[in-house]
Structures are given as C-alpha cells and as structure tokens.
C-alpha cells in the first residue's frame, strides 16, 4: 500500500513523501526517531505515523480465535451471532414473518412510502415495541426518535402505548390462570418516558446529532432502536450541491451502520418518495437518489395495493423479496387478515 | 442552531483559529462536508479533526426530551391541549380535538367546494374568547384570490354564535382581530411571512390561514425544478414557523388534472402481480392535489373536500392520529355543517382521489362564490 493513502494531514504527508517514504514497508522498517529526523517532523508525529502504518498493513500475528487478519471473524461464529440476534416486533405477524421475525438489531433498515401510508405509524409502533420486557419476548430497551418533520404526535404514541400495555396485561392474565406469572409493572406513561425525542430543524442539526449519538448512547446503554423520521426532509430542500449531498449522506449512512454494530441496536430510517423517469415512463422511487439506495442494508417499501396497505422487502442480504399486508388501527399496526385484535406474543 | 458560531464553542484556541482562517465560521460550514474533506481543508490530523467535529456536533445537537415530558408540556401550556376546534363534532372527534397546533393542515378540493368558507369560519372561531372554544387571539388571513368577505364572516358569526355576537361591540372586536393580507406576488408574501415570524408572539397571533398556496405559486414564471426549490423553501419556513410559535397553520390547495403519464406505481409492482385488478386505470376522477408530492409529504393533516354524486364530502385523507373517515356536509348561512357526525371509513384509493362529480350546479351559494 502507498503512503499517500494514510489518513494524515496534507502537510505531513507532503513531508513524508519528499523525504522518500512512499510505501508502507519503507515506513514500518524504520524507527520513529529516524523518521522524525528524515522527514523533519516531531517525534510524536512520527510515532503516530508508525502506528497508523502498522494498523493498515495488518499484522500477521494470530489471534486467539485463529484469524489471519486483525478484526476478521469466521462465518460460523457469525452465524451463531446472527441467530441469537434479537428482533423488534412490528405488532403485525405477517409483516414480522417477511422480516424474518421483526426488525433486526445491528442493521440499518430503510422504510419508505407515499405520504399517509403509515411510515410514522411504524416508527411510533417500533419505539413502543422495543420496550416490551424480556419476559414477554421483547428487548426491554429504550428508543431514540429523531423527528425532522414534526410528524411525531405524542397523543398517538400514548394511544399505542396504552394498547401495548393492555395486550400485555391480557397475556399476563392468561399466564396467571395457567402458570404462576409476575404482575405487569409497566404503565403507558413509563413507556413514553423511555422514548428519547429529538426535534431536528435543519440538516446541520441532523448531521450534528448523528455525530453526537455515539456519546449519547454510550451514556444510555439501554437504547435498542434509533428511528429517524424522516431522513429525507432537510436534505431534499436545503442542499443545493447534489454531489456534496451524496457524499454527506453516505458518510451519515456509514455512521449509522457503525452505531448499529457497536451498540447492537436497530436503526430505522424513514424515507419519502419521488417520481423518477425510467424505462420510458414515470415511476415512484424512494427519494435521495441512486447512490443513497446503496447505503442501507435493508429496504422495505410501503405501498397501496387495491384497498390494502402492503409492505415489500425490496433489498435484504438474507430475506427473500416478499410482500405482506398490514393495517393501521387505533391500537397501532396490526394484521389485516386476522379479525382478532390480539398481538401475537413470541 | 445551525448558525451557531464555532468561536463560541469552547474549542482549543489553535483549532479555533484554523477554522476562522479557512472561513469556517458557523456549525453549518463545518458540518456540511464529510470529515475527510474537512481534514484536508484545515490541514490537521485525523484524530484532532474528529474530536473537533465531535465537540461542534455536541454543541449543535438539539436537546433531548422524553416523550412523556413532551405530553405533559403540551397539556400544561397549550390551551385545549393544542387544538383549534372546528365546531364540527365528528371532525373534531376524529382529529382528537380539532385542527392541531404547531403543524401544517391542508384543505384541498375543487373550486367552489367550500374551502374558503371553512377557512373563514375557522378564522372567526379562533378570534373568540376561550370560554366559547376560541383561541382568544388575532388571526392573520392571507387572502391571495380576494375571497375573504367580512360580510359573510359576520353573517356566520351571527348565525352560529348568536349569544356572543349579539353582545354589544363583540362583533366589532372579533372581526377586528382578523387581519387580512392581500399579497400581490410571491416575493411580497415571502416578505410578509418573514416579518410575521418576529412579531407573532408579541401580537398574540393564534392562527395563520393561507388561501390559497397554489395561487401564489402559479403566478410566478419559473418552471419545473426552480419552482420546486422555491416551494421547498416555503415548506421549511412554514413548518418551522408553526412549530416555533405553536400556532396552527391552515393552507388551502387547489386541484389539477392528472397527466396521462403520471403513475402511482413502483418498479417492482409491475412484476409483483398481487392478483388485484389494475384499478389505477379505472378511476373516475382525473383530479389530484396540486403542488406535488413533496408538499404532500410536508403537510401533517390533509383534509380533502370533494363532491360525489351531488353530495359534498369532507374526508381526513392524511392524519397521524385518525383513521381515514369521510363526513357529508353542506354549506348554510352559519358556514359549513356536517350532515352526520358518524364518518364512513375509507379504504385504499378512495382516500386520496378527489371527485368533482355532480358539482357544477352547486358552486354559487347566495350568489357569493366560495
């Protein structure tokens, strides 16, 4: 690898190259004091460069798990990790089925659709469902709701929280009759207490918040889902330079992925819709462009099919493309086919 | 928040000076580019750049609140829990109290259906004292097409709230609280709303009505992308105005005919073939709301007024907290009144399509155009 690929400031890089250190092997074979003298930089800077160079070239020492390259994991270990991954239910079992059990943690999922299809509803439902205690098959975690458009209606969140508590109490009642089970402690207001709400008013605030989330979540380790409603709004109108916008957006997507992996939480990005001219006709597509559509791991599109709302898995590394119907009721998201109002508990 | 000065964020002086030298003054300047680019620009190591960005980000981030404190604050501070009652029982129930404060509500429908009538009634009820279900404040009514008629407003007041209106001087005071603006161009309108932003709180403005948004934009010469960009600015501005001042903003929108090449399908739907008929080609109305899909995303509540086989209907086409219900209504001397408080629930395409059948003979009420 070449030396100019190292993440260094340009003046230091310039000094390195003019001193003759163009490849990594030449850097790693020299001591820090020699490097400092040759390239006319301080000892500390030389030490940093050597550290970076060694990281990039990769050490050939073996790890305890037998990996050849630092940081690599073998697929068998990953399979075990993936299977034990918790998932957040959407309260609609048909939807959960096509999602492989629910929204997966450690992944970034993008959900998009026309106005009024139920994106905010899914967002609010997920921020309530992530709090379902472990005894009921949930994650017992907290939620971060980043609202960029002001669509979060707290009265609706209360409605959904109340329905969730009612369903859990019904389940507890059943368990009480047949088994010994503990009384449910959670109240709807407690559920609202565990939703961390941020109102973002410009794309600068959005970027700042994403940068800041690492620190925030380190201080609030229970957070298991981050919902952004919507990722599009500010970037659609206020950004003039589209090339710049694409770069900033991809950096943001990477940061979200890092957060998801680091804290094992689910990131759900809600997106809007635009019309695109392809193959000779206008079609609907999710907003923010083609480059953005590569950034998210999973992609779900919500659409109208006849009289019903449907969700379609458009992009996923492990799930087949499938669609399922759902409805939005006063109690939140539910199955459309079943007439029962009960939430299916895992 | 985006314009927060970097100089005041408590960064290390050395970095602070470098930022200033490169003309990166506000948080927006620093965060609008990827970190790698920033590092190149200021010629500082990666670790230092990252920590500077982290500090700037923390200072610029919006504050965190729990949803619970949001609810408590709403109930405490806002009168009537943040809603403006429309005095239409069925509609108020569906919308959990009335037109919500702090968000954009849109009224869309064919010409002559009753949008301006609805707006005038709302303006009147907002000016009422709290005891009569009003917001006890001023109303700014932006009347682009000269549809506002004070005579009609007084008539509505006398018919629907006789006990209030017959009190001495009440009519004058209520009508006096409604400020009507007639902007001559989009630029004029933009100026006025910017002025309004600063003076809303001091002047006790409790409702902003814009009738109609479409007419403002159609007067301009710009086409296509430029126009969308202009609209985009207004969307952001109105939304932040609503939220910042916690007042309801009601905007009316017109309809236009759907182009033949317009579609409502995704690329995967053609191959999916879910077994349902091609309903998209058999609609009996060719009308859609004007202003585009971006606008449709931006409004929080969309009320569609339409006419179907001679009956006027108001339906809640988009609302995060209500099911899509439709109510039949008619217009009387007291304004709009519902014929039934029990709405019928709509499904699928019926929610967003706009009908204007059997409507042309209903336009003139009392000879005054609505």
Q: For B176-187, how does the pLDDT look when each residue is reduced to its tens digit (9 = 90+)?
A: 888 999 988 888
Min distance A199 CA to chain B CA atoms (Å): 6
Closest CB to A204: pick one of B27, B263, B266: B27
- Spatial distance between the Cα atoms of B122 and B126, rounded to a whole number of angstroms: 6
Query: Residue B303's pLDDT is what?
Result: 93
Most confident of A4-18, B239-253, B259-273: B239-253
- Chain pair A-B, CB pairs under 8 angstroms: 228
Query: Residue A153's pLDDT is what?
Result: 87
User: What's B192's DSSP letter?
Assistant: H
- Spatial distance between the Cα atoms of B161 and A346, rounded to a whole number of angstroms: 55
Chain A residue with CA closest to B38: the answer is A9
Angle at CA A40, nearest 5°, toward A39 and A43?
A: 95
Closest CB to B46: pick one of A7, A204, A307: A7
Closest CB to A314: pick one of B56, B96, B268: B268
Judge whether residue B134 has pLDDT over 50. yes
Query: Residue B221's pLDDT is what?
Result: 63
A 10 A CB-CB count for B43 gives 15
Query: Residue B278's pLDDT is what?
Result: 46
Which tens digits make up the pLDDT trace of A207-245?
Answer: 999 999 999 999 988 999 999 988 988 887 777 788 888
C-alpha gyration radius of chain A: 24
A275 lies within 8 A of chain B by CB: yes
Chain A residue with CA closest to B94: the answer is A330
Mean pLDDT of B98-106: 90
Judge whether residue A342 has pLDDT over 50. no
SS3 string, chain A, reads CEHHHCCCCHHHHHHHHHCCCCEHHHHHCCCHHHHHHHHCCCHHHHHHHHHHHHHHHCCCCCCCCCCCCCCCCCHHHHHHHHHCCCEECCCCHHHHHHCCCCEECCCEEEEEECCCCCHHHHHHHHHHHCCCCHHHCCCCCEEEEEECCCCCCHHHHHHHHHHHHHHHHHHHHHHHHHCCCCCCCCCHHHHHHCEEEEECCCHHHHHHHHHHHHHHHHHCCCEEEEEEECCCHHHHHCCCCHHHHHHHHHHHHHHHHHHHHHHCCEEEEEECEEEEEECCEEEEEECCHHHHHHHCCEEEEEEEECCEEEEEEEECCCCCCCEEEEEEECCEEECCCCCCCCCCCC
User: What's B356's DSSP letter?
Assistant: B
Question: How many whole angstroms from its chain centre is CA B115?
Answer: 14
Min distance B61 CA to chain A CA atoms (Å): 5
What percentage of chain A has pLDDT greater than the value 70?
89
Min distance A71 CA to chain B CA atoms (Å): 21
pTM: 0.81
A326 lies within 8 A of chain B by CB: no
Between B107 and A201, residue with greater pLDDT: B107
Confidence of residue B226 (pLDDT cuts 50, 70, 90): low
Min distance B281 CA to chain A CA atoms (Å): 12
Min mean pLDDT across A89-103, A116-130, A219-233, B206-220 is at B206-220
Report chain A residues whose CB lies below 8 A from the CB of B344.
Answer: none
Query: Residue A341's pLDDT is what?
Result: 38
Confidence of residue B154 (pLDDT cuts 50, 70, 90): confident
Most confident of B49-53, B140-144, B219-223, B238-242: B140-144
Chain B residue with CA closest to A214: the answer is B54
Mean pLDDT of B320-347: 85
- Spatial distance between the Cα atoms of B78 and B95, rounded to a whole number of angstroms: 16
Closest CB to A154: pick one of B63, B70, B323: B70
CB of B217 within 8 A of CB of B120? no
Min distance A109 CA to chain B CA atoms (Å): 18
Report chain B residues whose CB lies below 8 A from the CB of A193.
Answer: 66-68
Mean pLDDT of A152-165: 90
Report chain A residues whose CB lies below 8 A from the CB of B267.
Answer: 278, 283, 285
Report chain A residues whose CB lies below 8 A from the CB of B235.
Answer: 237
Residue of A309, A293, A195, A178 lying closest to A246 (CA atoms): A293
Query: Residue A59's pLDDT is what?
Result: 46
Chain B residue with CA closest to A254: the answer is B34
Q: Which of B52, B61, B95 to mutate to test the interface with A (most CBs of A within 10 A)?
A: B61
Min distance B168 CA to chain A CA atoms (Å): 40
Helix (H) or strand (E) holding B351: helix B349-352
Query: Residue B78's pLDDT is what?
Result: 63
Query: Residue A278's pLDDT is what?
Result: 74
Min mean pLDDT across A38-42, A83-87, B331-335, B346-350 is at B346-350
Query: Residue A181's pLDDT is what?
Result: 56
- A212/B54 touch (CB, cutoff 8 Å), yes or no: yes
Most confident of A23-37, A289-303, B260-274: A289-303
Judge whether residue A145 has pLDDT over 90. yes
Min distance A120 CA to chain B CA atoms (Å): 7
In the block, which residue shows the tokens 């899909």? B293
Paired tokens of B116: 């301006």
Min mean pLDDT across A207-216, B276-285, B353-362 is at B276-285
Confidence of residue B225 (pLDDT cuts 50, 70, 90): low
Query: Residue B43's pLDDT is what?
Result: 82
Confidence of residue A160 (pLDDT cuts 50, 70, 90): very high
Reduced to 3 states (helix: H, G, I; strand: E, B; else coil), residue B297 is helix
Judge whether residue A331 has pLDDT over 70. yes
A7 lies within 8 A of chain B by CB: yes
Query: Residue B367's pLDDT is what?
Result: 38
Query: Residue A243's pLDDT is what?
Result: 85
CB of A268 within 8 A of CB of A103? yes
The answer to whether the complex's ipTM is over 0.85 is no
- CA–CA distance from B65 to each of A146, A153, A192, A196 (Å)? 11, 14, 10, 6
Mean pLDDT of B13-20: 83
What percentage of chain B has pLDDT greater than the value 70?
85
Query: Residue B81's pLDDT is what?
Result: 62
* Average pLDDT value over all residues in chain B: 81
Closest CB to A120: pick one of B232, B320, B347: B320
Query: Residue A63's pLDDT is what?
Result: 40
> Between residues 51 and 110 of chain A, which touch chain B (CB distance below 8 Å)?
none
Judge whether residue B270 has pLDDT over 80. no
- A236/B232 touch (CB, cutoff 8 Å), yes or no: yes
Residue of A32, A155, A309 lying closest to B70 (CA atoms): A155
Judge whether residue B124 has pLDDT over 90. no
């Amino acid at each position: 690898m070449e030396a100019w690929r190292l993440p260094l400031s340009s003046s230091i890089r310039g000094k390195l190259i003019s001193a003759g250190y163009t490849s990594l092997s030449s850097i790693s074979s020299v001591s820090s004091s020699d490097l400092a003298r040759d390239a006319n930089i301080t000892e500390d800077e030389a030490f940093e460069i050597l550290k970076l160079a060694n990281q990039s070239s990769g050490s050939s020492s073996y790890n305890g798990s037998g990996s050849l390259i630092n940081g690599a994991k073998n697929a068998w270990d990953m399979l075990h990790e993936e299977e034990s991954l918790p998932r957040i239910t959407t309260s609609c079992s048909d939807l959960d089925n096509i999602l492989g059990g629910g929204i997966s943690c450690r992944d970034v999922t993008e959900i998009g659709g026309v106005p009024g299809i139920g994106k905010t509803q899914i967002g609010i439902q997920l921020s309530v469902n992530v709090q379902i205690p472990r005894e009921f098959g949930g994650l017992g975690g907290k939620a971060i709701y980043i609202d960029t458009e002001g669509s979060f209606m707290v009265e609706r969140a209360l409605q959904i929280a109340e329905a969730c508590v009612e369903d859990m109490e019904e389940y507890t009642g059943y368990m009480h009759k047949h088994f010994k089970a503990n009384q449910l402690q959670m109240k709807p207001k407690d559920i609202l207490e565990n939703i961390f709400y941020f109102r973002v008013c410009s794309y600068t605030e959005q970027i700042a918040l994403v940068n800041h989330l690492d620190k925030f979540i380190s201080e609030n380790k229970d957070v298991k889902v981050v919902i952004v409603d919507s990722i599009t709004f500010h970037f659609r109108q206020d950004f003039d330079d589209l090339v710049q916008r694409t770069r900033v957006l991809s950096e943001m997507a990477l940061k979200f992925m890092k957060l998801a992996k680091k804290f094992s939480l689910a990131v759900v990005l809600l997106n809007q819709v635009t019309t695109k001219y392809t193959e000779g006709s206008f079609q609907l597509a999710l907003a923010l462009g083609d480059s953005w559509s590569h950034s998210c791991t999973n992609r779900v599109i919500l659409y109208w099919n006849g009289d019903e709302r449907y969700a379609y898995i458009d992009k996923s590394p492990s799930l087949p493309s499938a669609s399922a119907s759902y409805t939005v009721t006063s109690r939140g998201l539910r199955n459309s086919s079943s007439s029962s109002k009960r939430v299916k508990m895992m | 928040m985006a314009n927060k000065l970097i100089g005041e964020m408590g960064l290390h002086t050395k970095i602070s000076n470098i930022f200033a030298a490169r003309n990166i003054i506000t948080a927006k300047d620093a965060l609008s580019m990827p970190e790698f680019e920033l590092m190149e620009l200021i010629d500082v190591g990666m670790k230092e750049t990252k920590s500077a960005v982290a500090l700037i980000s923390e200072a610029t981030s919006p504050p965190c609140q729990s949803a619970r404190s949001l609810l408590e604050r709403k109930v405490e501070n806002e009168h009537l829990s943040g809603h403006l009652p429309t005095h239409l029982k069925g509609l108020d129930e569906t919308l959990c109290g009335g037109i919500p404060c702090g968000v954009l509500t849109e009224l869309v429908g064919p010409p002559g259906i009753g949008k301006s009538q609805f707006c005038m009634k709302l303006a009147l009820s907002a000016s009422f004292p709290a005891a009569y279900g009003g917001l006890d404040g001023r109303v700014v009514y932006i009347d682009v097409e000269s549809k506002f008629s004070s005579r009609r407003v007084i008539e509505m007041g006398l018919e629907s709230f006789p006990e209030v209106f017959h009190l001495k001087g009440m009519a004058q005071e209520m009508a006096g609280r409604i400020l009507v603006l007639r902007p001559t161009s989009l630029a004029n309108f933009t100026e006025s709303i910017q002025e309004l932003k600063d003076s809303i709180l001091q002047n006790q403005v409790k409702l902003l009505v814009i009738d109609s948004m479409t007419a403002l934009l159609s007067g301009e010469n710009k086409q296509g992308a430029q126009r969308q960009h202009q609209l985009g600015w207004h969307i952001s501005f109105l939304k932040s105005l609503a939220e910042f001042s916690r007042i309801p903003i009601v905007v009316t929108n017109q309809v236009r005919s759907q182009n033949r090449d317009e579609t409502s399908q995704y690329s995967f739907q053609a191959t999916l073939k879910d077994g349902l008929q091609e309903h998209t080609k058999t609609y009996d109305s060719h009308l859609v709301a004007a202003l585009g899909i971006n606008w449709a995303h931006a409004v929080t509540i969309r009320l569609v007024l339409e006419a179907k086989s001679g009956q006027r209907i108001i339906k809640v086409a988009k609302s995060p907290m209500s099911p899509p219900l439709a109510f039949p209504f008619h217009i009387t001397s007291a304004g709009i009144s519902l014929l039934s408080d029990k709405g019928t629930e709509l499904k699928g395409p019926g929610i967003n399509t706009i009908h204007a059948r059997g409507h042309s003979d209903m336009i003139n009420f009392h000879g005054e155009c609505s």
